[in-house]
Structure 1
């Protein structure tokens, strides 16, 4: 006999768990984020996730083929949280600044998940929605498609790279993080001007800045560069149009 075809949605658990609830993808992802926050990446497994959900661990695989697929879903959830209540203003630069800061902030609120997911590409709904918002802002702002794609590439890679970098420091053991932060004052501020003239000259300024994320400044620099390029493109377009009218 031919094998029966079972829709993917029908494979998912319909009976209540031991805790009396019916599982959903959102519930699994939310529980996984909590487990990462409380126990770190080493504490997340199908067995532990099943226990936390009050279900057999195999139930997780009705929703996700493996734990890597769940990891991609976690990254998509971070994008969903970043997009929640985001309302475009119609100003491409303002929109990209606000969205970039939201994506960065959400990742730092879930640093363990950020470390796992920032380098991944899921192609899931919320990731696609974020990409649509970014490209829509750039194209509506007047950037030609080739330029818009280049700026999108820099923008999204920059925010995720900083999210991964800053999140990695947050998941360090507290003693290691405190030790790293003290280096700027304990070491840099006591360097000799003879051996390290530039570091010695800027040591106090470095100590004031280096324990804070550089992302806001880096994002502003990228947007400043994009705005300057747009001004040049508009000037060239206007000049070309003027020449065409004189012919």
Structure 2
């Protein structure tokens, strides 16, 4: 896509496409998400999107200026999908844990899109809502403003980083994933104690833990550290 854009008032297509659907920004984003999961980043082309929508590729300029504009909309939609199923309870630690796990699960549901969008800042509706909500949880718990921002920053970067990391693993062929999991049993679990005493002593734990994601454990460590900081702030 180029930087050409149609004024917002004229964006909605009034006639159905060849497939009998009326174009909208939401439909284009949903279609792009599906194509990304099927074909990767190459799916974000005007020609491929137009073909999937049964529409003239030029009609996409009514909604997005270029492919990066569409990518930001996709990133924001992934955030929105998480927020729609998150229900804060008032318990800051439980609420952030639930949100983090939902963010991680959302990334694994769209692994290729997550890898493409985890590092982006959209400045759009859902991202703004997410930032406001998370800071509200932290400030409502009693964290000083500077500490609330510091914890928010660490929390969101941790969730996005693990989402991208684990999505990359999920995107591997099944045979490659199984081969890597096997390494822990066939290599690490068999290292002798006289040359690798620490690996040998913990081998059964490594075999059980390493093939899975460490995000839940990392999240709990972060929230425990945050709780300790809050206790210090209250004491002061």
Paired residue for 2:52? 52
Q: Which moved more, 1:191-200 or 1:71-80?
A: 191-200
Work out the CA distance in 2 between the residues paired with 1:85 and 1:169: 25
Paired residue for 1:84? 84
Work out the CA distance in 1 between the residues paired with 2:176 and 2:87: 39
Work out the CA distance in 2 between the residues paired with 1:184 and 1:55: 50
Higher RCO (C-alpha under 8 Å, 6+ residues apart): 2
Work out the CA distance in 1 between the residues paired with 2:60 and 2:165: 30
TM, length-normalised to structure 1: 0.89
Paired residue for 2:16? 16
Change over 3 Å in CA distance of 1:76–1:232 after alignment to 2: same
Q: What are the ranges of 5 or more consecutive residues in structure 1 without an aligned counterpart?
A: 1-5, 237-247
Work out the CA distance in 2 between the residues paired with 1:63 and 1:124: 15
Contact in 1 for aligned 2:43/2:49 (Cα 8 Å): no
Work out the CA distance in 2 between the residues paired with 1:45 and 1:197: 53
Per-residue Cα deviation, 1:63-86 (whole angstroms, up to 9, x for no partner) = 111111111111111101101132
Aligned length: 231
Per-residue Cα deviation, 1:31-68 (whole angstroms, up to 9, x for no partner) = 11111222333344221111111101222222111111
What's the C-alpha RMSD, in Å, of the aligned pairs? 1.3
In the alignment, structure 1 residue 175 sits paired with structure 2 residue 181: no
Contact in 1 for aligned 2:13/2:23 (Cα 8 Å): yes
Paired residue for 1:114? 114
Q: What are the ranges of 5 or more consecutive residues in structure 2 without an aligned counterpart?
A: 1-5
What is the deviation of 1:14? 2.5
TM, length-normalised to structure 2: 0.94
For residues 105-144 of structure 1, the aligned pairs below 5 Å read 105-144=105-144
Q: Which moved more, 1:56-65 or 1:26-35?
A: 56-65
Contact in 1 for aligned 2:49/2:57 (Cα 8 Å): yes
What is the deviation of 1:219? 0.7
Per-residue Cα deviation, 1:130-186 (whole angstroms, up to 9, x for no partner) = 111100000000001000000000000000000000000011122222211111111
Work out the CA distance in 1 between the residues paired with 2:179 and 2:61: 41
Q: Which moved more, 1:209-218 or 1:12-21?
A: 12-21
Per-residue Cα deviation, 1:175-224 (whole angstroms, up to 9, x for no partner) = 22221111111111111222221112111110100111111111111111
Work out the CA distance in 2 between the residues paired with 1:152 and 1:168: 24
Paired residue for 2:3? none
Work out the CA distance in 2 between the residues paired with 1:111 and 1:194: 41
Contact in 1 for aligned 2:13/2:22 (Cα 8 Å): yes
Paired residue for 2:161? 161
What is the deviation of 1:226? 0.6
Work out the CA distance in 1 between the residues paired with 2:43 and 2:172: 15
What is the deviation of 1:12? 4.1
